[in-house]
Amino acid sequence: MTSQPAPGERFASFSQFYPYYIHEHSNRTCRRIHVVGSGLVIGALALGLTVSAWWFLAMPLVGYGFAWTGHFFFEKNRPATFKYPLWSLMGDWRMFFETVSGRRKF
């Protein structure tokens, strides 16, 4: 199991954080929901650029909505976003691209 830093301490780098992030996404359904949500964020971005800027508002709602659903109902843990917002976002996209490129199981 990949552990968190000691109480009061934080991860020193994204490379230290990412194994913890992946461990927090051990549940396959949670990972799948994340990947689908990230794909929909890309779709909302495309629609925002081509159809209406209102689609940009859907991006965080869809992305976080799917991710947090995965955590609260399937993974049963607290999303890393609450403590590590930037690194969690980076982890979401790294996991997404690893999955769609076939380097991580869907």
The b-or-e profile of 46-79 (16+ CB within 10 A means b, else e) is ebbeeeeeebeebbeebbbebbbbbbeebbeeeb
CA 74 to chain centre: 14
Q: What is the pLDDT along the chain (106 residues), one digit of tens a residue?
A: 567 888 888 999 999 999 999 999 999 999 999 999 999 999 999 999 999 999 999 999 999 999 999 999 999 999 999 999 999 999 999 999 999 999 999 8
Give the residue extent of every domain in the chain: 28-100
Alpha helices in the chain, H assignment, sequence order: 14-23, 28-50, 55-69, 85-100
